[in-house]
Amino acid sequence: MIFILIRLRGSPVRELLRIAWPLALSGFVTVFVAGNDTVLLGLVNADAIAAAAAPIGMYLVVTVFLTAFSIPAQILAARHQGAGDSVEAARSAARTGTLAVCLAVPISLMLIAAGPWLVSLITADNVDTELAGWYVRILAAGVPLFALTAMVRGFAVGIGRSRIVLLISSSIAAVDIGTSILLLALGAGALGIAAGTTIGVATGAGIALAWLRRTGRGDTPVPHLREILSRPTYAHREAWTIGWPEGLMGAFSMGSLLVVTVLIAPSGPLALATVRALDVMVTFAWVVVFSAGSAGTTLLAQRIGAGDVDGLRQVVRRTLTLAGAFAVTCAVVMPLVSPALLRVAIDDARVAENAAPYVWIAWAQVLWMACTVTTNAIVRAHGDTKTPLKASLIGEYAVFLPLGWLLCRVNDLAITGVFIAHHVYWATFLAIGANYAVRHLRRTTASTASPAEETGPHSGDTTPPGNNMGAGTG
């Protein structure tokens, strides 16, 4: 992998790495914090873990849905930035923020008002519903601030300032964990952990707004709070068209964990623990590969905005090369060390022993991931977020679930069946994404070449080619 990066020096790889590495570290922080609440709740008692399970699950679905609105902010800002229109880049991000906040406020109010009833419905009153009700209310209070922060993150990545994303994530994590531990020490119990989460989100929003204000004092236009808090109009339609498929895909993806549990649970707790442990390990590789794809999305959208077809193709190749080099490294090296890592991370030695035969097939998934993040970057840069949604739904519910049922429940292949189904899922996702990615690239090339062919260099047409690029694809 190092040899490949040396050979690609001076290419878009440097730009990709500059944007990707803060996103990767931010992703690691997010994965770490995601499991933090359960650990801290365990310091209270098992009843607290049970009571918080439904509120945390509801909160995750909402925040994953709202996080999706960072995508239109990123794509639209990058496109306008590439076209040299920084003012419109900021305005498009502000419009995305308006949509995110307008969705987040009623969701927050609904959870505050009806959250306890929803928890009671989900848990059938088998937990402390009063504790769970207050837990979901406290978490819901931070939802609008979370939406605002998501927009700022997307805008920052879109204009190539991804380091602020790492700063925001790290600050949220530090305040969340620190406040939760402090409130636990003061006797706040489980509700102190919920308060720590919301205070952490508020801290992230404060840092995001401070960054916007500081950046706006320079030569870079930024979204203004008054624009974000304005009423949605028809001008917000483009951001909505890009954002809603991403939101649905994020919400539906939360069901994938449940699908795996349904398939493998009859094989016993050891099999379920083994699959979960291997999935968590692969998740860390996914964070890095996804970050490369996100950086690729920004650069591709900038090339589209600038009308740079050659640059567009080069970024596609380099994104695939960078993600692929990392994926090959993981697929070759990580199976050799995974059993040892599992023995260190998990007290029950049976999990590492049981996982040993499956590490190669588990880590081979990263090869598919490298290809799919590249195709996703292409279609997203063109404003097409419906294709990833389509690929995800077909792959998860029309392929993975029935195939996994056949392999695990009918043929008793258990862990092997789950990972075979995973590979077929990724292959399906890639086939759908690659088909649309090729279409978009061809259409973009044609839309850029046709004005020159029709009018010629002396026709008096001074419209920059970037203004026509990708027309009708989003």
Helix (H, G, I), strand (E, B) or coil at 458: coil
pLDDT at site 1: 52
Token pair in block for residue 146: 């979370």
Q: What is the DSSP letter of 408?
A: I
User: Please, what is the end-to-end C-alpha distance for the chain in angstroms?
Assistant: 35
Mean pLDDT, each 10-residue run in order, the chain (474 residues): 49 85 89 74 78 84 90 94 93 94 95 87 77 92 96 95 94 93 91 94 96 91 91 86 90 73 80 86 93 95 92 94 95 95 84 92 97 96 95 92 91 91 96 96 80 39 34 32
Yes or no: say if 213 and 223 are a contact pair by the CB < 8 Å rule.
no
pLDDT at site 35: 67
Q: Which of these, 54, 56, 94, 42, lies nearest to 72 by C-alpha position? A: 94
pLDDT at site 459: 36
Integer Rg of the chain from CA: 23
pLDDT at site 454: 41
Token pair in block for residue 327: 């994926």
Alpha-carbon distances, residue 166 vs 17, 179, 214, 296 (angstroms)? 14, 20, 17, 18
- Identify the residue whose tokens are 């880049």: 89
Q: What angle do CA 255, 37, 194 make, to 5 degrees?
A: 100
Its sign, for the CA torsion 174, 176, 177, 183, is positive
9: left (phi over 0), alpha (psi -120 to 50) or beta: beta
Question: Whole-model pTM?
Answer: 0.86
Give dist(CA 261, CA 11) in Å, integer. 43
Q: What angle do CA 235, 239, 245 make, to 5 degrees?
A: 140
